[in-house]
A and B are shown apart, each in its own frame.
Chain A
Amino acid sequence: MQDGATGIGASVKRVEDKRFLTGKGRYTDDINRPGQVHAYILRSPHAHATIKGMNKAAAEAAPGVIAVFNGEDMEVGSLPCGWQVNNKDGSPMHEPGHPPLARGKVRHVGDQVAVIIAETLEQAKDASDLLAVEYQTHEASIHMDKALGGGPLVHDEIGTNLCYDWEIGDEAEVDKVFAGAAHVTEIDIVNNRLIPNAMEPRAAVGEYDRSDDRYTLYTTSQNPHVIRLLMGAFVLSIPEHKLRVVAPDVGGGFGSKIYHYAEEAIVTWAAPKVGRPIKWTAERSESFISDAHGRDHISHAKMAMDKDGKFLGLKVATKANMGAYLSTFAPCVPTYLYATLLAGVYTTPVIYCNVKAVFTHTVPVDAYRGAGRPEATYLLERLVAKCARETGISQTDIRRKNFIPADAFPYQTPVALQYDSGDYITTLDAAEKAHDVAGFPARKAASEAKGKRRGIGYSTYLEACGIAPSAVVGSLGARAGLYESAEVRVHPTGSVTVFTGSHSHGQGHETTFAQLVSEKLGVPYDAIEISHGDTDKVQFGMGTYGSRSLAVGGVAIDKALDKVIAKAKKIAAHMMEASDEDLEFKDGKFTVAGTDRELSFGEVALSAYVPHNFPHEELEPGLDEKAFYDPLNFTYPGGCHIAEVEVDPETGVVTMERMTAVDDVGRVVNPMIVAGQIHGGLAQGIGQALLEGCVYDDSGQLLTGSYMDYTMPRADNLPSFGVGTESTMCTHNSLGVKGCGEVGAIGSPPAVINALVDALWDVGVRDMPMPATPQTVWNVINSAGTAAAAE
């Protein structure tokens, strides 16, 4: 790639970084509307309580207060769930109501109880002290076992805390395989609950314009069109043409800003009631108890093998925490984004998985960077590591022996997915080389000489992203299609604006998408602008999550670019009096084969808007094309992550010594941005493995409700990463791209924990929970020592 290149494959510097790094970003909280007032949400201090009464009088009379609303005042629709999962018997899941402001009962600490709207935020907060709510508190069901074991009901009306009891695969067939297996390895796995913590807390500004009877919501969303649909159609009954949703610069989402949240509905609903625009911005401590959490699975899994360690069958039982209400995508995360991934990169012929989704008196749980695939990968890669230990086969040999071979694609798994491409031996080999696995014994000896222990751990993983083919997800219960749309508007002077339904909240779309345009149209990079995040500007969009922006949104742009070129060719052919079949378009120039006639893209663009001699019955003026792209399949990034840790056995402190990730993400448009995405994903994966754990006490109080107790990864927790790509092309989209946003968080946690078990194997450690904090590691070492002493 030459210097100054701006097409596919160039590490173009992120154009958006200049405004982000110089404080010129425009986030929701930066938006201030004329006459704006402020909302403060009073939240439940209890996990489970009946609201016996509320006296609003004193709060309403407080200085500056404009209005106080509670759940009885706000009679609107329920916050909707976008995905229906069915039980084993075909009956639908339980889908209890989720009022934006609680009615009758509160169901988790942080549940919205009332909104106080005042001239200033301080006045609203002062008034909240005067808002007398009488609660009758009840015992709570916090842990899933208690919730399923006769604990208090989260939703009395459904009579159970079991949201659904779902399965995939043929249990009887799998049991038969286990009965005849030479060896069975079993494992208990807890996937720890995480709290997302985007750098920018959620915020929303609601506004109503009486002159045209139109609402505008500015919000921290990953998918403004989805919010317009969910809030407009299901909660507030505002038709799309009367509702504009703008998601301006958004400072990180990781999934937590996909969902439609109560506060968005509250400020939009209340704006015409108070006749003023209303702003709400979360404080960090509110984010902890109101942003959807992630993960939180308890599983038991077993692998049947033949005498040579070949996988014959996998059986998994998982309990997945939904929290107190069903968040927008929650039901699909532990089913279609989890159990369908349990084949991983292996040829396991039969798989059965049962998933029980459970209501508890905790914050709702939904998709968080990786969403289901990290849970599947963690379970599978811990289990595979244990299979290797029990059979005496090396960690790499057991994987190589069971990999889907590179020549077996397309490969149909027993759990619904059909992989299009991959080469797992190549990524494993490349990772081992990049990691210097050969030098590990010497490094281990050096650690031992200092009284430390060192271990190495593998994760050869696969994920399904580029979400998603609408026909497939529709058949699985999605209440939406998961295509993406794009518009490429070529202006008269040849500059280009792309309107995309993808939403950038840190991913660098303004750079990557412009590279697609520059590559295909040959237009100078600085003449291209990417516009997103405004339902009044962008025709439609399903947004950004599930590593779908490039693989779905980018391909939609690519399709629109093809339409632009096709139209431009017709114009150029007319201008050069040639047949459009004789025209070639390359490097921004139209040429006629066998002649020296040529036109630049800019000249054609100008002509499109100055059509003085167009044959109007055949050729329309203008150069502005739209496309919708619905993918034919998921995309399947995969690869190999190798972690190397050192443990101080005296204190339990773990240091990440090396972290190598070689990923197959398909075609790479901007290598620097891909590396950045993988770095971020690895940081979150290592965070889950070693640092981050959400802890509730038995009464439902969040013990990790601030950075004083919730450990976010910091730079000094992380090694300098070794990242690389070894790509096979996606075979079913025009760009060959797969996605890179989540692979780091998906692949790395089991590598880290496998490394930790390896480091402590010789002192008798056989298992390690996440997060492996110093105290946890110290306790595990001690109990291993005690167990060894007892033997």
Chain B
Amino acid sequence: MYDFAYHKPSSVSDAVAALQGAEDGTVIAGGMTLIPTMKQRLAQPSDLIDLSGIGDLKGISVSGGTVTIGAMTTHAAVANSPDVQKAIPALAHLAGHIGDAQVRNRGTIGGSIANNDPTACYPSACLALGATIKTDSREIPAEEFFDGMFSTALEEGEMVVAVSFPVPEKAAYIKFPNPASRYALVGVFVAKTADGVRVAVTGAGEGGVYRASELEGPLSSNFSADAIKDVKLSADGLNSDIHASSAYRAHLVGVMARRAVEAANA
């Protein structure tokens, strides 16, 4: 690990000021990706701005059909929250199956979505549920937030402070884990909302999380696994690696989507 300057601000404004004042600074939330990357000397930030001292960034609230989760809320806190379990059980389930117990107790929702790892679980929930990402300066719809592998709409010096999820009628997330890393080889989040069905896929796309419109149409008219059993999904634009060819990923998107619909209806 290379040397860096360490800051632990106690407010969002101090954090943003520290970030903007650093030569090549980065915020650190749970550090579940950043720390290993730094240990391998693949990242060399000049400054680390540790967000763990900012109480405002932690916590979960539910009001008016919206679940709002502070950026520094851990996966374990989301998974174990009775409020989330009641309002959007699929979201609690998703959080409860990220990584292992250690990761879930350190990793945060803000860190996950700001990193936008193409195999992370949370981006699919954001996209399928039509979440809004709140930053220190604005609100960004999930559709606009995730704009490519490890890339987001965040500007230099901008940070996520919370994510708001509208409560759907029904939802489910099914992950097909990479056998080695157990990240999502393919993860499909299906949400039935008043505005129709949204299906978001993580792990599979070359550009990160995406909506599977070929599945959304049939499911919007008939929210059952049967409605999509004959939909052939194209492998174009999907990742191919030693664990899964693009054709296998395309096939798994269909299977996981059907299983997610069944789980949502169960």
Q: Are A773 and B179 also in contact (CB < 8 A) when A122-B1, A695-B242, A709-B243 are?
A: yes
Q: Report yes or no: A775 in contact with B243, Cβ–Cβ below 8 A.
A: yes
Asked if B40 is at the interface (CB within 8 A of a chain A CB), the reply is yes
A709 to B1, CA, bound (A): 23
Q: Report yes or no: A703 in contact with B242, Cβ–Cβ below 8 A.
A: yes
Q: Are A651 and B255 also in contact (CB < 8 A) when A704-B242, A778-B248 are?
A: yes
Chain A proximity of B237: nearest CB distance (Å): 19
Q: Chain A 774-787 against B: per-residue CB contact (8 Å), 1 yes, 0 no?
A: 11001100000000
Q: Report yes or no: A711 in contact with B176, Cβ–Cβ below 8 A.
A: no
Asked if B266 is at the interface (CB within 8 A of a chain A CB), the reply is no
Q: Chain B 1-23 against A: per-residue CB contact (8 Å), 1 yes, 0 no?
A: 11000000000000000000000
Nearest B-chain residue to A651, judged by Cβ: B255
Q: How many residues of A contact B (CB 8 A)?
A: 21
Q: Report yes or no: A709 in contact with B251, Cβ–Cβ below 8 A.
A: no
Contacts of B180 in A (CB 8 A): 704, 707-712
Q: Chain A 752-788 against B: per-residue CB contact (8 Å), 1 yes, 0 no?
A: 0000000000000000000001110011000000000
Q: Report yes or no: B176 in contact with A651, Cβ–Cβ below 8 A.
A: yes
Majority SS at the chain B contact face:
loop
- Among B222-261, those with CB < 8 Å from A are 242-245, 248, 251-252, 255
A/B pair count, beta carbons within 8 Å: 38
Q: Report yes or no: B243 in contact with A773, Cβ–Cβ below 8 A.
A: yes
Q: Are A709 and B181 also in contact (CB < 8 A) when A122-B1, A651-B176, A775-B245 are?
A: yes
A709 to B243, CA, bound (A): 8
Asked if B41 is at the interface (CB within 8 A of a chain A CB), the reply is yes
- Among A259-289, those with CB < 8 Å from B are 285
A515 to B27, CA, bound (A): 57
A712 to B252, CA, bound (A): 23
Q: Report yes or no: B181 in contact with A707, Cβ–Cβ below 8 A.
A: yes
Contacts of B251 in A (CB 8 A): 778
A2 to B56, CA, bound (A): 63
Asked if A38 is at the interface (CB within 8 A of a chain B CB), the reply is no
A126 to B2, CA, bound (A): 8
Nearest B-chain residue to A128, judged by Cβ: B41
Contacts of B183 in A (CB 8 A): 708
Contacts of B244 in A (CB 8 A): 775
Q: Report yes or no: A125 in contact with B41, Cβ–Cβ below 8 A.
A: yes
Chain A proximity of B255: nearest CB distance (Å): 5
Asked if A665 is at the interface (CB within 8 A of a chain B CB), the reply is no
A708 to B185, CA, bound (A): 12
Chain B proximity of A161: nearest CB distance (Å): 25
Contacts of A703 in B (CB 8 A): 242
Nearest A-chain residue to B243, judged by Cβ: A775
Asked if A650 is at the interface (CB within 8 A of a chain B CB), the reply is yes
A711 to B252, CA, bound (A): 20
Q: Report yes or no: B255 in contact with A775, Cβ–Cβ below 8 A.
A: no
Contacts of A695 in B (CB 8 A): 242
Q: Report yes or no: A775 in contact with B248, Cβ–Cβ below 8 A.
A: yes
Q: Which of A285, A703, A708, A710 has the most CB of B within 10 A?
A: A708
Chain A proximity of B254: nearest CB distance (Å): 9
Nearest B-chain residue to A125, judged by Cβ: B41
Asked if A106 is at the interface (CB within 8 A of a chain B CB), the reply is no
Q: Report yes or no: B248 in contact with A708, Cβ–Cβ below 8 A.
A: no
Chain A proximity of B62: nearest CB distance (Å): 33
Q: Chain B 169-206 against A: per-residue CB contact (8 Å), 1 yes, 0 no?
A: 00000001011110100000000000000000000000
Q: Report yes or no: B252 in contact with A651, Cβ–Cβ below 8 A.
A: yes
Chain A proximity of B248: nearest CB distance (Å): 5
Asked if A59 is at the interface (CB within 8 A of a chain B CB), the reply is no
Contacts of A285 in B (CB 8 A): 40
Contacts of B248 in A (CB 8 A): 775, 778-779
Q: Chain A 103-145 against B: per-residue CB contact (8 Å), 1 yes, 0 no?
A: 0000000000000000000100110000000000000000000
Nearest B-chain residue to A129, judged by Cβ: B41
Q: Report yes or no: A711 in contact with B255, Cβ–Cβ below 8 A.
A: no
A716 to B245, CA, bound (A): 25
A711-B179, A712-B180 provided; 7 other pairs, C-beta below 8 A?
A126-B2, A704-B180, A704-B242, A707-B181, A708-B183, A709-B181, A774-B176
Report B's interface with A, CB cutoff 8 A: 1-2, 40-41, 176, 178-181, 183, 242-245, 248, 251-252, 255
Show 13 residue pairs from A and B whose CB-CB distance is below 8 angstroms, ordered by the A residue.
A125-B41, A126-B2, A651-B252, A691-B179, A695-B242, A704-B242, A708-B178, A708-B181, A709-B181, A709-B242, A773-B243, A774-B176, A775-B245
